[in-house]
Amino acid sequence: MRRPLIFFLSPLLVNLTVAVVPRYLWLIIVSLFFGCTRDHNAPVADIDYLELAREPGAELYGVKFSSNIDFLSIFEKGKKPISSMLRCSLEGDEVSIDRDADRYIAEGLVSIEQPLRENEVFIYSAALMLDENLNEGRSSRMLRADELRRILQGKQFVPCVYTATAFGFKAYRSATMRVPVADIFREVGIQ
């Protein structure tokens, strides 16, 4: 009696399925995830620096900035972003898209300072920590005043951007805001 070809191939197909599918399952899942992200359709917002002040009793520096965009509804009206951050590069002229690419950073969570009515400017604040990224961004340490002086020496401004993420959407990134180095030196106590 002749056996069908599938009879001989079935053990091979089972072994192939067991060996290959789990190995590449992550690739299928990631492809589906990124294929389902929606564009936020929000314009690239200009953000304007207002002030910087050291938080009392902490190594945090509160920065206030304004924008004509409601960042808390940037993805969908009434739905807040999962993360809402102000990121600054202390060493470069631009803020890298990859957070771990900048060795010296200032970053903090953003909150709304003054909710205003329609067609007005929104005022935001962020409590920044001035850090050095270590271990490819897996850990960090706060910078001392002498290190900040060395890093920022010769610079007039520090570039900062607002970034936000939400499930199912592409990440949002604002235009660059410039924070005066003189304000940072004043608040840190550098002469």
How many angstroms separate the CA atoms of 70 and 55, rounded?
25
**Do residues 60 and 22 both lie within one domain?**
no
Is 16 or 117 the better-scoring residue by pLDDT? 117
The SS3 call for residue 122 is strand
**Do residues 153 and 183 both lie within one domain?**
yes
- What range defines the domain where residue 86 resides? 48-188
Q: 136-145 pLDDT, tens per residue?
A: 667 788 889 9
Residue 126 falls inside a structural domain: yes
Residue 21 falls inside a structural domain: yes
How many angstroms separate the CA atoms of 137 and 101, rounded?
8
Share of residues in the chain with pLDDT > 70 (%): 72
Q: Would the pLDDT of 157 be above 90?
A: yes
Angle between helix 145-152 and helix 181-188 axes, rounded to 10 deg = 170
Q: Sign of the CA dihedral 52, 57, 60, 62?
A: negative
pTM for the full predicted model: 0.74
